[in-house]
A and B are shown apart, each in its own frame.
Chain A
Amino acid sequence: MRTTESGSRRPLSFYILAGFFAAFVVFLYGPMLTIYVLSFQGPRGGLTLPMNGVSLHWFRALMGPQRTGDFVGPFVRSLALGLIVLAATVVVSIMAGLAFRRRFFGANLIFYTAVASLIMPGLLIGLGVGLMFQITGAQPAWWSSALGAQLTWTLPFGLLIMFAVLSRLSRSYEEAARDLGASGWQVFRHVLVPILSPGIIAVAVFAFTLSYDEFPRTLLTVGSQNTLPLEIWAMTTNVTSPALYAVGTVTTLISFVLIALAIGLILSIERRRLRRAVISRGASD
């Protein structure tokens, strides 16, 4: 279908909607704008306009220790935790999503537990998980208790997104593949994954984002080394510097570079797959 469509000219509605989308992106980035601008404050500048000189001072300052706390350690921890949560959420939600395609004993209970887990105020989850670790004598840490607490938040999101991804997915594809002798794994790998890939990417992006910026659930479960949001939160009870904003600017820049690479990669894979698909379609016809 894409091949037939790509030849036609874009309708007017495309441009209207593209304009709408662009406006939405501007809105999303609105508060980021001041962050970007202010991160280039001079060495004497503060967190507000007007600018007090222009410099790269605060980007250099990022690498060293801050007046209180530092960014490097917490950033590494947050990134690692985000990736672990991402992996766990993708795997667990895909499996659970597939499970819900059939009726099974306890399905309702698990579903409503996930919904309740989404609703439960994060501070209380953190409190409960922290207590659990204290009682069992386990050391709370960002990679143990905080990971568990964050999963109670990312998994329900992942599961529910899988519902959107899997809805109206006819089981006939898998049955056909199985009839042709494909194993369970082959069905998953060659039939389900390609169909589900937008959804899987959405779950991955969501899980990472939710974890990377998580605050209430992590607050009381982090153990003795902070994640980035906690470090920043604690820093805001004292003099903070535009280095705080430099974190935002650097994060955005790195993200854009990574996204550009990712798009390039996906586009090239797509082109290859398209070529293969055309060939195989030709063969099956």
Chain B
Amino acid sequence: MRLPGGAPPYLQAAPLALILLLFFGVPLLLVVVVSFWTFDLYGFHPALSLENYRQLLTATSTYKVYLATVMLALIVWAIALVLAFVVSYFMAFHVRSFGWQVGLLLICTVPFWTSDIIRMISWIPLLGVHGILNQTLLKLGLVREPLKFLLFSPFAVVVAYVNLFTLFMIVPIFNSMARIDRALLEAARDSGAAGWRIIAEIVVPLTKTGIALGSIFVLTLVMGDFYVVAEMSGGQMASVVSAMSNQISLLQYPPAAASAVVLLIIVTLMVAGILRVVDVRKELTG
């Protein structure tokens, strides 16, 4: 009997390939084709026009938005990486029971089971000028004026991103760490290696697959967001996808498609860059 463990790889990968082919391949094809089309009030017109790309690539706002979004992604990535590494380290090496590991992971997940939309609304009573945090700071005498930058600012966007996306860094890093044999760490400790050296020379190298995967998640999530940035900046910042969503909401598919193609190319190149540093598939076949 040839079952999952020993089945030929292309059979094992077939369900994934088929689902992606149907539900991603078809939309992708449509997007690429439509990105060359023209449109007017009455519909879309098949064409081989580069106009959508020309408009996108000649607008200075395009570059500004990409720059701003990439900057955001880098900041969020750095913070999430540090947080996730420490949290995962704790869960992987200090929490001894598998049951508790799962429990802690779930505790980190529960807030995500309340709609993003509700959670975004509820930042206002927390971080607003008259919000709980400012009231507390004022009462404690730590500030004289309420802090306005807490909400509707780049700061608020970063806080919300870190709040939402760190989990996506934790899960792969934790799984990588969970695969490290604790005997290895104990042996290193027994031979007198300092804690930070164990982390730098054993834990980090053995966790790099998880770090790379988490980085891919955070990068793609930030680059693809338009909702959080609008909400937390008080509608005063744009992301790469905000223009796209705006165009779609008014049936302007061809320019939206062109901008999706450009986004797809750029972010895929970024991911390929990460994979050049860490080949996440190498350790699979090794």
A163 contact set on B, CB distance < 8 A? 172, 209, 213, 280-281, 284
Partner of B118, one of A5, A115, A247, A262: A247
A218 contacts the other chain (CB 8 A): no
Within 8 A of A (CB), among B212-252: 213, 216-217, 220, 223-224, 227, 241, 244-245, 248
Query: How far is A14 from B96 in the complex, measured between Cα atoms in Å?
Result: 11
- Number of chain A residues whose Cβ lies closer than 8 Å to a Cβ of chain B: 121
Within 8 A of A (CB), among B23-48: 23-28, 30-31
Category for how many chain B residues contact A: 35 or more
Q: Which residue of A lies closest to B180 (CB)?
A: A168
Q: Which residue of B lies closest to A265 (CB)?
A: B99
CB pair B163 A30 closer than 8 Å: yes
CB pair A229 B117 closer than 8 Å: yes
CB pair A167 B176 closer than 8 Å: yes
A202 contact set on B, CB distance < 8 A? 105, 171, 174-175
CB pair B87 A20 closer than 8 Å: yes
CB pair B113 A209 closer than 8 Å: yes
- Distance in Å from the Cβ of A45 to the closest Cβ of chain B? 12
CB pair B132 A34 closer than 8 Å: yes
Partner of A124, one of B101, B103, B257, B285: B257
Partner of A95, one of B16, B108, B209: B16
- Distance in Å from the Cβ of B114 to the closest Cβ of chain A? 4
CB pair B23 A149 closer than 8 Å: yes
Q: Which residue of B lies closest to A91 (CB)?
A: B15
Partner of B123, one of A25, A31, A132, A155: A31
Partner of A34, one of B107, B117, B125: B125
CB pair A127 B27 closer than 8 Å: yes
B99 contact set on A, CB distance < 8 A? 263-264, 266-267, 270
CB pair A34 B16 closer than 8 Å: no
Q: Which residue of B lies closest to A186 (CB)?
A: B5
CB pair B12 A125 closer than 8 Å: no
CB pair B86 A101 closer than 8 Å: no
CB pair A259 B107 closer than 8 Å: yes
CB pair A99 B12 closer than 8 Å: yes
A152 contact set on B, CB distance < 8 A? 19-20, 23-24, 27
- The list of the 10 closest CB pairs from A to B, nearest first, reads A128-B27, A99-B12, A266-B99, A248-B114, A184-B6, A167-B283, A99-B9, A99-B13, A188-B5, A104-B9
14 contacts between A and B (CB under 8 A): A1-B183, A10-B94, A96-B12, A120-B27, A124-B244, A152-B20, A160-B217, A184-B4, A188-B3, A209-B109, A229-B117, A248-B119, A251-B114, A267-B100
